[in-house]
Amino acid sequence: MRAQFVFQEVWIGLRRNLTMTIALVVVVAISLSLLGTGLLFVKQVNATRTFWQGRVQLSVYLCTKTSSSPQCTKNGPVTATELSSIHQTLAGLPQVASVTYVSQTAAYSQFKSEFPTMVNSVTPDEIPNSFEVKLKNTQADTTIVSESVDGQPGVDQIVDNAAILDKFYNLLQGARNAVVIIAIILVIAAVLLVANTIRLSAFNRRRETSIMRLVGASNFYVQLPFLVEGVIAGLIGWIVASGLLVAVKSLWLDTLQQYFPFNVQLTSTDLIQVVILTMILGVLLTGATSFLTLRRYLRV
C-alpha cells in the first residue's frame, strides 16, 4: 500500500514536469560522465606512472659510427676503454641504484619487437648501445647523474625518460583537470536543477501536500515522493552516464593506448569502480538536494 502510493505519486510528479525531468536527467548524465571520465584519467595516469616506476629512468646513449653529434664525430664510436670508464663512473655514483648495459644487438631486438613495421629501415649497427640507469631518487638526482657523464668521450646523448614522461603526464593531467572543472560546474548546475525541479513539483502538487498535512500525514510521507522523484531522475542520469563512460573507455582511452609503445590499459574493474562511484555520487547529490529543498518548501 505505502510503496504503491509513493510510486504512484512519484510517477505523477515526474510526468507533470516532464521537461524539467528530462533537463535534470541530461545534466546529471553529462556531469556524472565527465566526472567519471576525470576519474578514469586519474586512474590512467596512475597506471602509467606505476608502469614506469622501477623502470629505466635515465638512458645514456653511446656513440656509434652513424651518430651525428659533434662529440661522436670527433672521437668516433665508443671504445671498450671508454665503455668501462663510463660504466665505472655511473656505478660509482651514490645516487644510482643500478646500471645495465644494453648492447647494440639487444637494443636492435627490442626495437624490432616494439616497432615491427620500421625494422627494414634500420640495421643493428645504427641502433646505439646504451647504459640504462635506475636512480634512487628520480626528482632530485637526475641532473647530478647526467652531468657526471655528459661530455665524457663515447657518450652521445643522455635522455631523461622522466622528462619525456612528465610531458605526457602534463598532457593527461591537463585534460583531467579540464574535465574535472567542467564536471564540477555541471554538478553545480545539476544541484540547482534538482532544487528547481523539486520546487516546481512541490508547487504543482501544493493541493495534495496541503491536504496531506491537514489530515496528518507525517513529514516523511509528504516528502518521500519528492525525494524518490529526485533520486529516480538521478539514477536515470547515472544509467546514461554509465553508458557514456563505457564508450569513453572503449572508444577513446583504449584507442589512445595504440599511440604509445607500452601497454597500461585500464581494466574493467577500474571502469566498474568508477561507475559505482558515480552512482553513489549521483544518488547522494540528487537525494541530498531534494531533501534540503523540501525542508524549505514543505514545512509543517
Partner 1 sequence: MIHFDNVTKMYQNQSRPALENITLDVEKGEFVFLVGPSGSGKSTFLRLVLKEERPTEGRIHVAGRDLARLTNWKVPHLRRRIGCVFQDFRLLPTKNVYQNIAFALEVIGKPRRFIRKVVPEVIDLVGLEGKRDRMPDELSGGEQQRVAMARAFVNRPMILLADEPTGNIDPATSIGIMKVLDRINRTGTTVVMATHDAAIVDSMRKRVIELEYGKVVRDQSRGVYGQAY
211 near partner 1, judged by CB under 8 A? yes
On the 0-12 / 13-18 / 19+ scale of CB atoms within 10 A, 255 is exposed
Taking 3-state DSSP, the helix, strand and coil percentages for the chain, each rounded to the nearest 5, stand at: 75, 10, 20
Q: In this chain, which of 152, 157, 219, 273 binds partner 1, going by CB under 8 A?
A: 219
SS3 153: coil
213 is a site residue for partner 1 (CB under 8 A): yes
Phi-psi region of 76 (alpha: psi -120 to 50; beta: other; left: phi over 0): left
Q: Does 292 bind partner 1 (CB under 8 A)?
A: no
CB distance 67 to 73 below 8 Å: yes
- The C-alpha cell of 35 is what? 566526472
The distance of closest approach from Cβ of residue 7 to partner 1 in the complex, given in angstroms and rounded to an integer, is: 12
- Return the C-alpha cell found at 117: 613495421
What is the amino acid identity at position 296?
A: R
Binding track over 166-205 against partner 1, x by CB under 8 A = ----------------------------------------
Q: Please identify, using beta-carbon distances, which residue of 109 and 210 lies nearer to partner 1.
A: 210
Q: Which of 217, 235, 264, 288 binds partner 1 (CB under 8 A)?
A: 217
Among the listed residues 54, 68, 207, 261, the single contact to partner 1 using CB under 8 A: 207
**How many binding residues for partner 1 (CB under 8 A)?**
18
Q: Given candidates 168, 169, 221, 297, which one binds partner 1 under the rule CB under 8 A?
A: 221
Any contact of residue 214 with partner 1 (CB under 8 A)?
yes
Q: Is residue 202 within 8 Å of 223, Cβ to Cβ?
A: no
Element (H, E) at 46: helix 18-52
Please pick, from the candidates 5, 51, 260, 262, the single residue that binds partner 1 as defined by CB under 8 A.
5
Cα-based angle 66, 150, 68 (whole degrees, multiple of 5): 20
Residue of the chain from 15, 120, 167, 300 that contacts partner 1 (CB under 8 A): 300
Task: Give the integer Cα–Cα distance in Å for 114 and 261.
Answer: 7
Q: How far is the CB of 220 from partner 1 (least distance, A)?
A: 9
Which residues of this protein are in contact with partner 1, per CB under 8 A? 1-2, 5, 207-208, 210-219, 221-222, 300
